[in-house]
Every structure is written in structure tokens, then in C-alpha cells.
Amino acid sequence: MLTYIIRRILYAVPIILGVNLLTAILFFYINTPDDMARKILGEKNLTTAAIENWKRDHGYNLPTFLNAKEEGVGKVTQTVFYQKSVPLLWFDFGRSDRNNIDIGREIKHRMWASLAISVPMFLIGIVIDLFLAMMLAYYRGTYLDLWGLVLGVVMMSVSTLFYIIGGQFVLGKVLKLFPISGYDTGVHSLKFIVLPVIIGVISSVGIGVRFYRTVFLEEINKDYIRTARAKGLSEGKVLFKHALKNAMIPVLTNVVVSIPFLFYGSLIMETFFAIPGLGNFTIEAIQAQDFAIVRSMVYLGSILYIAGLILTDISYTLVDPRVRFE
């Protein structure tokens, strides 16, 4: 297994480098360092000398690619993977272009707000999705199954923004059960967390239930399920004991790969509820044209995605002894 994990990590290196290189090319194609300097400095300080000084202070005056002939191998600052000699590849994110804050420290501080929302949303969503999917599979072919599928398709077709705005209006404005925006620390944060979690679970239940229902229906038509029925086991025991256990590989694929992204937060949810998490942090950086933060968050996201894929592969061995890493 160790050899397999090392090989997967080595395969991931060119992917990570390519993602960051593509991010830099797209960002600078749309928004050059001169444009970034003009936006951040503002009209009052907008002079050619000020722009050049800003670019020099943030490392954007040096070549994007290694140019040993001009600068020397040891002196080149690469704006794709380095900034002012700060190695992005070793999770040293440096400082932001806009207000010179420590990006790494800001990520560590903001990730707790993201986790406070994403973890309960994730756990509650899994339990509800699996339970409803098994119920629809248990009552397959009935009106409950039919109308459950119809409702699931309708919920999938509705935009997340509708759930957010509708939930804020009904539960926040009309019923006044929860605040519609803001955040606090400690126990006081609970009142700000409940509404985003409720909306997040409801908005994703249609997709989750339809996916898991398909997984369970594929399992209950296999030979071992027919054998269990022939032995006289009840349909509930066949479904909840045998089918659920053997359907864990596709379930784990969908669940485990999502775990690393719990740290990343939700871009839309955090923005609409004014939650100072990593999702909101990324949106603010894009709006402010802060490439240092955008680059750091893209790099972190690519690392988390690859980590999720590796964790998914490892988890297969826990539920299926037939899986072996070669």
C-alpha cells in the first residue's frame, strides 16, 4: 500500500504544477500585474513609479518562468510558484497583494468558521440521504418511490440561491428564528450556523437521494440478494444489512472524496451569510484581484482534491477485502 500511495503522490506533482501554472496564465491574461496595481493603489496614488514600486515589492516585476541567464538560478522569483522567494509548494503562502496580511495565518484562522458549517452539513446530509434513499429502494415501484423521485428531480432543478434567499426570508425575516447573516465565536456561533446548515442540507438532498437510491437498486438485483431472499430473510433485513454493506464502495467514493473539501468551505453559502470562512476569503480575493490569495487557495484546493482521491482508494480496502493495491 505504501508503494501505491507514493506512486499516486508522484503522479499528483505534475497535476498540481499544471493547475497552478494554468491559474497564473488565466489570471494574468485577464488581469495583468499593472491592472492589479491600479486597482489596489487607487486613483490617488496612480503613477508609473508607484505601479513599478508595487510590482517590485510583490515580486511581479520578475519573470514568471525560470530565466537563469538573466537573474541567476538562486535569485529568480517565480510568480507562479514563488513570490518574493516564498515557496508556495511548501505551504508558505506569503502575504496578500492587497493588504499585506499573512495568508497562511488567515487560512488557519478562517478554516474553523468553514468547518463549523461544512461538517454538520456534511454529516447530517449523509444520514438523511442514505435513509431516504434506502426507504425509496425499499418501497421501489410504489407511489412513495415515484413521488420521491419527482420531488428529488424538482429539488435538483432549483438553484441553490433560491434556497438561500427563500430560507433567509422565511426563517429569518418572517419567522425570525435565526439571524440571516453574521458570525460569532464559541457557543454564540450556533445561532448563525443553524440556518446555513438547514439550507445546505435541503438544497443537496435531491442529488444525494437519487444517487444513493440508484446504488441500492443496483445491489438488490444481484445474486447474493436473491439468495438472501430465498433463505427467508425479510426485505428490510436484506436491504439494511446486506445491500447497504456491499454498496459501501460507491458510497465511500462520494463521501470520502468530499472530506478534504470541508476545510475549503462553501463559496456561495459563506458569501450570502457573511461568514468569515475560506469560501468568503476566496470570493473577496477574486473581487479585489488579489492573485497571491487566489493562487494560494487554488493550490490548497488541488492538494485537498488529490488527498481526497487517495483517501478514497485507501478506504476501499476497509469495506472490501478483495481490493488489493498492486
- Three-state DSSP state, 32: coil
Place of cell 437519487: 210
Q: How many domains does the chain have?
A: 1
Higher pLDDT, 190 or 72: 190
Distance CA(229)–CA(225), nearest Å, equals 6
- Give the global pTM: 0.80
Mean pLDDT of 281-288: 87
Buried b (16+ CB within 10 A) or exposed e, 293-320: bbbbbbbbbbbbbbbbbbebbbbbeeee
Identify whether 32 is part of a domain.
Answer: no
Q: How confident is the model at residue 66 (pLDDT cuts 50, 70, 90)?
A: very low
- Work out the widest C-alpha separation in the chain, in whole angstroms: 85
Identify whether 54 is part of a domain.
Answer: no
> In this structure, what CATH number is given to the domain that contains residue 159?
1.10.3720.10
pLDDT at 69 over 90: no
- Three-state DSSP state, 95: strand
Measuring CA to CA, how many Å separate 280 from each of 31, 100, 242, 293, 326? 21, 18, 42, 12, 41
Closest CA to 203 of 258, 241, 165, 245: 165
Provide the domain limits for residue 295: 103-319
Residue-level pLDDT at 68 = 39
- Three-state DSSP state, 152: helix
Mean pLDDT of 143-161: 90
Q: Mean of the per-residue pLDDT values for the chain?
A: 81
Identify whether 23 is part of a domain.
Answer: no
Identify whether 21 is part of a domain.
Answer: no
Distance CA(249)–CA(315), nearest Å, equals 8
